[in-house]
Amino acid sequence: MRFLIPRFSLVQGVWMVVFGFVGAVIAGGYGMLHDQVTFWLGPEYFTRFKVYQFGYEGVANPGRWVAAQIGFQASWWVGLFAGWFLGRVAIPRVDLGRAMRWCLLSVGLMLGVTLLFGVGGWVWAQWRLDETGVAQWTEAMRGFDVVDVRAFATVGYIHNGSYLGALVGLIGAVIWVWRRCLGKRG
């Protein structure tokens, strides 16, 4: 039951919030870089879709800067939650130095898994986007006036893979930190 309702001091609670903010900055930066790469692969994913999803439809020339802003907005909250949750697992159980070290290592694990799943999304797109796959995407995007459907769909698969990777990475990171806390190693 202590996992669900841990006891911690006010100072430990403040550190958990700090871990959350650090996670938000790291994830937001990752999202900005991620969206620079995916903008290069398929700019219409941003100029025809994401600008509407994130409220940038009035921007005259949505380019890389808008993609970076969208990348931050789409990712910071994942890092906030991940950093806070990892801190919540570690801080009440080990000293602050170990908690910081383990949480930073586990954030690195999350980033690696997220990147791996994003690459997996790209690989999946290469395999999945035959004539039938592209035709299905074309039908789904009829209202967006997308010209390069293959690039748009590829970026969509990369983004979906990255979100899945962040979730899998978070689960793995929490398990890793939890196991370290149980053994209180290193």
**Average pLDDT per consecutive 10 residues, the chain (186 residues; last block may be shorter):** 71 94 97 96 91 83 88 96 94 93 95 97 92 81 87 94 96 94 72
Contact 152, 146 (CB under 8 A): yes
Q: Quick check: 73 and 55 in contact, CB under 8 A? A: no
Question: In angstroms, how far is CA 46 from the centroid of its own chain?
Answer: 17
Tell me, what's the pLDDT at 174?
A: 94
* H-helix segments, the chain: 10-41, 44, 51-53, 64-90, 96-128, 131-140, 149-183
CB 45 within 8 A of CB 156: yes
pTM above 0.75, yes or no: yes
* pLDDT score for 185: 59
User: So what's the pLDDT on residue 164?
Assistant: 97
pLDDT of residue 63: 86
Token pair of 113, please? 């898994």
At residue 60, the pLDDT reads 72
Q: What is the pLDDT of residue 44?
A: 93
What pLDDT was estimated at residue 24? 97
In the chain, the N- to C-terminal Cα span, in Å, equals 25
Sequence-separated (6 or more) residues with CB below 8 Å from residue 163: none
- Cα 17 to chain centroid distance, Å, stands at 19
Instruction: State residue 136's pLDDT score.
Output: 80
Q: How far apart are the C-alpha atoms of 27 and 84, rounded to whole Å?
A: 13
The pLDDT tens digits of the residues spanning 143-178 come to: 888 999 999 999 999 999 999 999 999 999 999 999
